[in-house]
Amino acid sequence: MAECGGHRGSTPWDRARELARGLGERWGCPIGVLPSASALGGRLADDLRALVGSPSFDASAMDGYAVRGMGPWRPVGVRLAGVPVSEVCLAEGEAVEIATGALVPKGTEAVLPYEAATVVKDRIHGEVERGRHVRWSGEEIVPGESVLPAGAEVTPAVLGLAAALGHDLLRVRMPRVEVLVTGDEIAVEGLPGAGVVRDAIGPMLDGVVAWAGGCAVRTRHLGDGREELSAALAEAEADVVVVCGSSSKGPADHLRAVLREAGAEVVVDGVDCRPGHPQLLAHSDDTVFVGLPGNPNAALVASLTLLVPLLSGMLGRTEPTAGAGRKPLVGEVRGRPGRTSLVAVRLGPAGAVPVGHDRPASLWGAALAEAYAVVPPEGPGEDVELLRLPRPPYGA
């Protein structure tokens, strides 16, 4: 087991991300049963099977007339979608005026759209093709059919498909994440006063967790006491516990000592990057712990360094930070010997343009930016790796 003393800061930034993802892949993710609307971003634990057919009943695909035979037809009623109707069976030469989505009468052979119909002396004239403009029950999906395999990501389209096929609950693999924000100086509402700051990390992390495919089950605010932190970690029931603040070396930073007492194994103890140097990744037998700095921008960088790769690895998905490629970095940006720099940028035709306002305590730059430019210690070179910043829709 690694020593849980003061952080050494010896893990290179890219290596820390590899370690976080590797731990997630080895750890895997338990199965939970969630309401469909809460499963967005997870992975299906089982094949998604149809509880009903699609369509689930014979329905009109057009506004017009449900008809039997070749016509002309005698109108015998009207049907609207969603309106209860008594069962009727069309006889040869009969028609029912019908709305799109309404249940067609028994005996219907086709639907004649309004635009193809002519009404003359209480008779409906037109040409139809047998079976045309009717959504026949089960013609797309039959009851019991498997429509998606286990492991498929739960996207908005998957949620809609599951609902259409009768599912209220889904069995999914989705890491449960609890967030602990520490600090006697933290306020959760209202205007901060002298010596008091509003919590910016808690509101931010809900979106980061969802974007990475996790479920933020609870955010708690703690003081700086060691006993309070120890009790909170012992009570946590999530797969991943994120501790914000308490990860550096100050007198109020107790996370390492608490984890040492609990027998946790440390995987990453400090990362050679700026901002976000005081990071921590550790685990017990049943919980993974991620320590983030107390400054909001530093915490965001650290969450993209350790938390997002960890959750993506647990789900076996590509990290959502990927895909922005590489671009030249516009302007004079120097490397920092021994440390990777994460620079907030907008992306334009000329390359990645720094937006500024990216001090460790400020999220202004990240709010303006589309990505972080990853500047290695030796400097940007011809181009830089780009790390996407979280954007809605989270979990899609």
pLDDT classification of 133: cutoffs 50, 70, 90: very high
Angle between helical axes of 201-211 and 308-315 (0-180°, round to 10): 30
How does pLDDT run across 152-196, given as a tens digit for each residue? 989 899 999 999 999 999 999 999 999 999 988 888 888 888 888
Digit-coded pLDDT (tens) for 1-49: 333 434 445 799 999 999 999 999 999 988 989 898 788 888 999 999 9
pLDDT tens digits for range 185-242: 888 888 888 888 899 999 999 999 989 989 899 999 999 888 999 999 999 989 999 9
Q: At what angle do helices 308-315 and 13-27 cross, to 10 degrees?
A: 30
Q: Nearest-CA neighbor of 277 among 356, 340, 208? A: 340
pLDDT of residue 396: 41
382, two tokens: 């011809």
> Average pLDDT of the chain?
90
Element counts in the chain: helices (H) and strands (E): 8, 28
pLDDT given at position 6: 40
Domains recognised in the chain with CATH numbers: 11-34+175-315 (3.40.980.10), 59-135 (2.170.190.11), 326-388 (no CATH)
What pTM value is reported for the model?
A: 0.78
Rg (C-alpha) for the chain, rounded Å, is 29
Report the C-alpha gap between 19 and 282 in whole angstroms. Answer: 11
Give pLDDT tens digits for 88-120.
899 999 999 999 999 999 999 999 999 999 999
Distance CA 366, CA 371 (A): 8
256: pLDDT strictly greater than 50: yes
